[in-house]
Amino acid sequence: MDGTWTDWLAAALLITGAFFSLVAGVGLVVLPDLLSRMHASAKPQVLGLLLMLTGLALEWGSWPWVPVLVAAWIMQLITAPVASHLISRTGYRTKHARRDLLHRDDLAAQARRVPREPLPATMPDVEGHGPLGDQEER
Amino acid sequence: MTTPLLVAAWAGGALLLIGAVASVYRITKGPSLLDRVVATDVLLVVLSSALVLDMAVRDHTDTVILVLLAAAVGFLGSVTVARFVEDRRPDHPQEENALVPGTSDVPTREEA
């Protein structure tokens, strides 16, 4: 067997990172609705990419490249929750999320209070928004 | 090429390929636009991982800038699409979905 122990460690990290992509793919296929598919898709974005970049850094064995890889991971760590938050919020507001699969729904009471139809003329419209201000935006 | 890197190339490549095929399946199947957006995010990450694997196996640094850029600006498309998704089922009001028995949906006494 050739290869140093850092080679083997890097290979193990790379394969484990790639395994999270497999997990995300399987989750995208088998999970039933938008929110659970998002749960599966976040795994390779953060942990999988971290493992792959660690394996890459071990394989390169060069310190000057480490800040670049750290920057790539930090960028992913910052931006992935932003996208997930907006997608899940839009999915909830536009009824793409299956609410019968949720165990707990903290937005339900608010969603029930917000009228879907335009407000009747008798109801005062505060500052051009609905009764809850910007919360009626969907 | 040393043995562990060969193993990583084939095993990791196979895992990434399955992930990519599964996300392409979800992109084509849908059913909603947001499902496709989520699957596209996964496909982008799988592509970044493939570039990382290639750089590790063949020991070059040519595509590290692509990985960095994909991580930095890859979310902009998702955010843009998510911002402009509309509800095309207005005959299906949120209030009907809202009350699921056995969950916290059921209104408490002071709300009702």
- Closest chain A C-alpha to B110 CA, distance in angstroms: 12
| pTM of the predicted protein model | 0.77
- Indicate whether B56 pLDDT > 70: yes
Interior/surface letters B12-28, b for 16+ CB within 10 angstroms, e for the rest: bbebbbbbbebbbebbe
CB-based contact A99 B41, cutoff 8 Å: no
Average pLDDT along chain B: 80
Confidence (pLDDT) at A13: 92
Residues B90-101: tens digit of each pLDDT: 555 554 444 444
Interface confidence, given as ipTM, is 0.76
Q: Which residues of chain A have pLDDT under 70?
A: 1, 95, 110-138
Residues A89-118: tens digit of each pLDDT: 888 777 677 777 777 777 777 666 665 555
Q: End-to-end CA distance of chain A, in Å?
A: 59
CB-based contact B45 A48, cutoff 8 Å: yes
Spell out which residues of chain B touch residue A23, defining contact as CB-CB under 8 Å: 19
- Closest chain A C-alpha to B62 CA, distance in angstroms: 12
A24 touches B23 (CB < 8 A): yes
What's the DSSP call for residue A117?
S
What's the DSSP call for residue A119?
P
